[in-house]
Copies of this chain bind each other. A is one copy, B any other.
Amino acid sequence: MTIKDIAKLSGYGVGTVSRVLNNHPDVSERARKKILAVVESQGFEPNSNARHLKMQAPSSIAVLVKGTQNMLFADILERIQAVLRDHEEDVYVAYLDEDADEVQYAVQLQKIRRPKGLIFLGGDLEHFRRSFYQITVPCVLLTNQAADLKFSLLSSFATDDTGACEAVADFLVEKGHRTIGVLGGNLSAEQISTLRLNGIKNALARHQIAFDSEIQHEPCRFSMACGYQAAMKLLRRMPNITALFALGDVIALGAMRALWDLGLRIPQDISIIGYDDIASAQFCYPRLTTIRQDTAALAEKGVQALLRRLSSSEAPVHEIIPFQLCERESVQPYANAESIVKKG
């Protein structure tokens, strides 16, 4: 069943059929009705290969997701798909390893699938710096701030990582914590780790609290298993920690398990705070205090920006999305003898 068949069946030429199919204006109401009826009755769908070949117009929007098990990205992706579906855009999703070079992958993808735009869910700025110049279609990076890179084809939307981490540190200090351990972040998320760590350091410095990242920070990948091991390692090295800050909720979840196994009660013996606010954060025991990233805003603004960029080639936009500190049950005020003395 091709457009030719429809033409024959409807008594019109292929040109007219094509015009009807593409909602072009210059068609008589009569022709439109007749042709649509035939199309309907035959259940005809135009061949997208032929269409795209002719139109030279690339078809879909590709989404590159870094990490299959990342619940935060799953949330965002869900929204992205919904919004894109509303706009009748075709979406192509590819999952990459947490450590993969997403930009290299995008360069390949661009040649093979010729998407008209790309959305990166997570990314390493180093990769962008190195290879993004090879990309020729509008892109949006979600979850990382790319303003500094100044690529004319790259917009970005990210949570205020530094601010959020300052808020966490302030919050913990306010609760009386002075010896804080940090879990997570690694080479594959260079920038995120750095921004978040900086936020912590800034706030702590402001409170004149020392923080030696060499010993108080244990990097790890974003998974429960890694969070578990990292927590074990960190606590062995520094048993006097009173509060843990995990740079991702999955890390926090793994760490909480480690704390249980060490016989530490949360939050009586040690407090813990996460980052992301994935679904589990509300159902684990105790409920996890965490930083909520606004996944809906990230997804929607990202898609809108890409769509706008696609129709009118305006300048790239970079936006910081506000975070929210969700106070739940995993943090408790702390006051030991020493700090009481100091206060007095």
Contacts and interface: CB of A to CB of B under 8 A. Distances in A.
Contacts of A93: 93
Q: Which of A71, A225, A283 has the most CB of B within 10 A?
A: A283
A223 B113 contact: no
Contacts of A280: 224, 253, 280
A2 to B, nearest CB: 11
Contacts of A52: 49
* Majority-rule SS of A interface residues: helix
Interface stretch (A74-82, A155-163, A238-246): A74-82
Counted per complex, copies of this chain come to 2
A282 B53 CA distance: 50
Contact of A68 (B74, B114, B287): B74
Contact of A253 (B257, B283, B287): B283
A37 to B, nearest CB: 18
A174 interface: no
Contact of A112 (B48, B69, B74, B256): B48
Given A45-B111, A49-B49, A52-B49, A256 B279 contact: no
A12 interface: no
A21 to B, nearest CB: 13
Nearest to A69: B74
A254 to B, nearest CB: 5
A267 B45 CA distance: 57
Contact of A279 (B50, B69, B92, B284): B69
Contacts of A71: 69
A285 interface: yes
Nearest 3 pairs of A and B residues by beta carbon: A45-B111, A49-B53, A257-B283
Interface of A: 43, 45, 47-50, 52-53, 68-69, 71, 74, 77-78, 81, 92-93, 95, 111-114, 223-225, 228, 253-254, 256-257, 260, 279-280, 282-285, 287
